[in-house]
């Protein structure tokens, strides 16, 4: 009893004094609230593999169900003075939260209103080792992606699903399959579909997505992004469907015509019509079954043309190969740039969004002040027991 009191005392003073090392982030899984920890990819930021991360300094703030990443960060000791890459860690810090979204959907609200051309706020799923590999998920290690983007000497590749890559001018949904599941070095002769099968609405409809009320999805305001992972009767992923919800209106991704066919979601038929035959959804399905890790990232390229695949030419209205889109320029010109993710939900198809746009966020204030009250109560108790 007394021991529990001491533990609770320590825990509560941590909460009240704001000493929590990893920010606590709440999300909803099948209707139930889950609290996870946010962990920064330490290897990506610090060659010294510094264990202590001051999340305020790297521009990361969490308020219950809402996570903000700032582009410009403060800490001079880190390798980078920009961006962050974060994962969801379980409460006992042993494993990342993993997601198998076959026959499920994932939704979140996003605010990209301050992300100009060249900035990329990304929320994606990768088949990272759930224990983080050698050093452990508590350190944010084990990164891999379809481009073999691991940051260490050994770059690791794995299947990647980009639920969201975007700024206020352009957005992109993509699946990148690999020739096998797990993580592997590209040198093994295995490969991933680096270009992947992508869906960017600008390619088909210039008025669908952009900043201002004339666009179907208006990026000057927050909106909800729903991604559905539909399966065949045997449970294999065969379609990735995108919906947007804004001002209580549900909007599907624009239909894409190719010859006599029309597509409004990612399927093998769509990918083939788009000229991508090497990214079969069956392979993505096999990888999802192993469990994917969620990655929240805000980044820019040091090359002015580095984000053209997302927002320029046929992909968007941003100028191509622009000097202003270089990371060093963006850091100076956009001190306030940030992305905010909130109301992350995973559940059965059609269960995580409503047509009236209600999301229960009105209870947020009440709940956080309640937990403070409970803590003060426990503190008082431990003083008297």
Ligand X SMILES: *[C@@H]1O[C@H](CO)[C@@H](O)[C@H](O)[C@H]1NC(C)=O
Site track 328-367 with ligand X (rule: CB under 6 A), x = hit: ---------------------xx-----------------
Q: Contact at 8 Å (CB) between 60 and 84?
A: yes
Q: Is 61 in the site for ligand X (CB under 6 A)?
A: no
The alpha helices in the chain, defined as continuous H runs, are 2-17, 42-45, 268-273, 281-289, 308-311, 327-333, 364-384
Residue 14 tokens, joined? 């941590």
Min. distance of Cβ 177 from ligand X in angstroms?
5
Classify each residue of 287-303 as buried b or exposed e, where b means 16 or more C-beta atoms within 10 Å of its C-beta: bbeebbbbbbbbbbbee
Q: Which of 80, 113, 179, 258 binds ligand X (CB under 6 A)?
A: 179
Judged by DSSP in three states, 128 sits in coil
Q: Which stretch binds ligand X (CB under 6 A): 41-49, 117-125, 278-286, 338-346?
A: 278-286
Pairing type for strands 104-111 and 338-348 reads antiparallel
Chain-centroid distance, C-alpha 152:
22
Q: Is 264 in the site for ligand X (CB under 6 A)?
A: no
Min. distance of Cβ 84 from ligand X in angstroms?
14
CA distance 23 to 197: 34
Q: Which stretch binds ligand X (CB under 6 A): 51-59, 218-226, 323-331, 374-382?
A: 51-59
Q: Is 320 in the site for ligand X (CB under 6 A)?
A: no
Q: Is 280 in the site for ligand X (CB under 6 A)?
A: yes
**Could you tell me which of 263, 250, 255, 253 has the C-alpha nearest to residue 352?**
250
Q: Which stretch binds ligand X (CB under 6 A): 58-66, 107-115, 234-242, 280-288?
A: 280-288
Q: Is 232 in the site for ligand X (CB under 6 A)?
A: no
Pairing type for strands 98-99 and 104-111 reads unpaired
Residue 295 tokens, joined? 């990655």
Site track 130-169 with ligand X (rule: CB under 6 A), x = hit: ----------------------------------------
Q: Is 283 in the site for ligand X (CB under 6 A)?
A: yes
Known catalytic residues? 160, 165
Q: Which of 29, 50, 54, 182 binds ligand X (CB under 6 A)?
A: 54
Min. distance of Cβ 253 from ligand X in angstroms?
14
Q: Which is nearer to ligand X, 196 or 210 (CB)?
A: 196
Q: Which of 80, 95, 278, 354 binds ligand X (CB under 6 A)?
A: 278
Taking residue 147's Cβ as centre, other Cβ atoms within 10 Å add up to 15
> What is the DSSP-derived secondary structure letter of residue 356?
T
CA distance 176 to 281: 9
Binding residues vs ligand X (CB under 6 A): 54, 56-57, 177, 179, 278, 280, 283, 286, 349-350
């Amino acid at each position: 009893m007394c021991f529990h009191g001491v533990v609770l005392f320590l825990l509560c003073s941590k909460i009240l004094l704001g000493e929590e090392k990893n920010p606590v982030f709440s999300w909803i899984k099948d209707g139930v609230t889950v609290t996870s920890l946010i962990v920064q990819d330490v290897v990506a930021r610090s060659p010294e593999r510094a264990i202590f991360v001051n999340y305020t300094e790297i521009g990361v703030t969490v308020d219950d169900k809402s996570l903000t990443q700032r582009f410009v960060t403060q800490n001079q000791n880190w390798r980078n003075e920009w961006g962050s890459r974060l994962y969801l860690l379980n409460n006992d810090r042993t494993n990342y939260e993993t997601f198998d979204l076959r026959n499920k959907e994932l939704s979140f609200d996003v605010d990209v209103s301050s992300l100009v051309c060249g900035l990329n706020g990304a929320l994606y799923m990768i088949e990272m080792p759930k224990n983080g590999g050698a050093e452990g998920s508590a350190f944010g290690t084990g990164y891999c992606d379809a481009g073999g983007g691991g940051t260490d000497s050994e770059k690791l590749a794995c299947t990647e699903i980009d639920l969201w890559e975007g700024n206020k001018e352009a957005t992109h949904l993509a699946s990148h399959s690999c020739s096998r599941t797990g993580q592997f070095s590209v040198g093994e002769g295995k490969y991933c579909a680096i270009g992947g099968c992508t869906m960017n609405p600008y390619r088909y409809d210039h008025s669908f997505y952009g900043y201002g009320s004339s666009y179907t999805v208006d990026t000057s305001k927050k909106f909800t992004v729903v991604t559905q992972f539909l399966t065949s009767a045997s449970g294999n992923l065969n379609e990735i469907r995108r919906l947007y919800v804004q001002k209580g209106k549900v909007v599907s991704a624009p239909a894409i015509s190719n010859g006599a066919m029309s597509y409004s979601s990612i399927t093998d038929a769509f990918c083939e019509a788009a000229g991508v035959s090497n990214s079969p959804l069956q392979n993505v399905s096999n990888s999802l079954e192993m469990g994917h890790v969620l990655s929240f990232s805000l980044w820019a390229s040091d090359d002015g043309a580095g984000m053209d695949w997302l927002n320029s030419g046929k992909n968007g209205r941003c100028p191509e190969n622009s000097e202003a889109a270089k990371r060093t320029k963006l850091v100076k010109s956009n001190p306030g740039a940030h992305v905010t993710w909130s109301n992350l939900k995973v559940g059965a198809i059609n269960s995580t969004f409503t047509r009236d746009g209600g999301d229960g966020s009105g209870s947020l204030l009440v709940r956080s002040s309640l937990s403070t009250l409970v803590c003060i109560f426990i503190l008082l108790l431990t003083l008297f027991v």
